[in-house]
Structure 1
């Protein structure tokens, strides 16, 4: 004699038909072939990144670095680097409360990434703005 169990709760079993994948689950996804040569912005390991001025803003959890290789963000232990050829633009401003520097990188494909660095003391924010503007102008001159 088989014992009957109640039907599983939500979240178990196959998805309802309206959420089913367009392809059968056994079909392998089609991917474009990646180029075999390295991207043009890759640096040789022997090339130093300190060819020009740099900018650094750091607080307890976050950091923004702008140097000859590009822009790097660190946020709560996670980091991401953007090389100059993959950056469409870099924007920065004070936070609405005037206590932090907000820096955004717009990637060539339109995605954007943001990092916020707290300025303690608050006067440090006014020191960061001219330095950041000068370093960005060095690597990304306007006009």
Structure 2
């Protein structure tokens, strides 16, 4: 009688043999691939009225997603900038700008915000921790230590209004 020693699992494609291999993702099962409808060409006209209505609904939904919601004027606004970047905290969330790049974090995706002012330096550091366990930070240079302290006080007040303290005192 023969017994196998070790794991009884099928072989898995590795990155060395399959350039499309991504660890943690499994390829679709053959029966799932057969259930997927074939792609429709972009210039194909809808054949029925139901397809036409569905296409119009998809276009309307896509247009609504592309439009940015207007900023809400509730809550305090904190904004600081230097020659290259800026940090804005308002009722929509946290926005970092550096040169031509922009990163926006809405309040639903922000898990925490950390601020820092080094002892001898004159810059404000703001770090955003998202609910997806990622962190992003921005630095803004202050012209003076006095202004840096003022920024830190204003930033704490703005963050306190957006993050409610859930502890009972």
TM over 0.5: yes
| Structure with the bigger percentage of strand | 1
| Residue matched to 2:139 | 116
| Structure with the bigger percentage of helix | 2
| Residue matched to 2:18 | 24
Shift of 1:21: 1.9
Please state whether the residue corresponding to 2:136 is helix, strand or coil. strand
Instruction: Spell out the pairing of 1:18-97 with structure 2 (5 A cutoff).
Output: 21-22=15-16, 24-25=18-19, 45=68, 47-97=70-120
Q: How high is the TM-score relative to the length of structure 2?
A: 0.59
How many angstroms apart in 1 are the aligned matches of 2:137 and 2:158? 18
Q: How high is the TM-score relative to the length of structure 1?
A: 0.68
How many angstroms apart in 2 are the aligned matches of 1:112 and 1:82? 11
Please state whether the residue corresponding to 1:95 is helix, strand or coil. coil
Shift of 1:48: 3.1
Aligned-pair Cα RMSD in Å: 3.1
* Structure 2 gap segments, 5+ residues each: 1-13, 29-57
Aligned residues: 117
**Runs of 4 or more above 6 Å deviation:** 29-32
* Structure 1 gap segments, 5+ residues each: 1-19
Shift of 1:129: 1.2
Higher relative contact order (CA 8 A, sep 6+): 1
**Larger Rg, first or second structure (1 or 2):** 2
